[in-house]
Amino acid sequence: MSIIGVGIDVAEIDRFEAALKRTPGLAERLFLQSELLLPTGERRGSASLAARFAAKEALAKALGAPAGLLWTDAEVFVEDSGRPRLRVTGTVAAKAAELGVRSWHVSLSHDAGVASAVVVAEG
């Protein structure tokens, strides 16, 4: 296996939350319902959503930031163990396949008002 790409991104949580409030429908353009909602059906908090957005940005960077990727073709989810993971479909899966990506590694964090994510694409 070899590293095909690495991406990192940060998002100011308050700024991200303000953008979601200011722009109707933005959350639905960025996230799948499974990302927006907790298993209880409640809406996920701003810090968690900002970290997921940072992961999607980092994923795009790991792929070389190609045009035409759809935000909802990348899903950030957490395994029962607590480990964050990526599931890709559509435009993201096609670009990943073209580059030879076989697996993803993702790390999420949020502290001191900033959410961050690192994504490694492995082939």
Binding site, by residue number, is 9, 57
pTM: 0.94
Q: Which residues pair with 103 in a beta bridge?
A: 122
Tell me, what's the pLDDT at 71?
95
Tell me, what's the pLDDT at 39?
87
Q: What is the mean pLDDT of each run of 10 residues along the chain (123 residues)?
A: 96 97 95 94 95 98 94 95 96 97 97 97 97
Binding site for Mg(2+), by residue number, is 9, 57
Tell me, what's the pLDDT at 109?
96
Q: Closest by alpha carbon to 11, among 76, 89, 95?
A: 76
Tell me, what's the pLDDT at 1?
82
Are the beta carbons of 51 and 107 closer than 8 angstroms?
Answer: no
Tell me, what's the pLDDT at 57?
97
Return the structure tokens found at 61. Answer: 């960077």
What is the CATH topology of the domain spanning 3-122?
Ribosomal Protein L22; Chain A (3.90.470)
Are the beta carbons of 55 and 84 closer than 8 angstroms?
Answer: yes
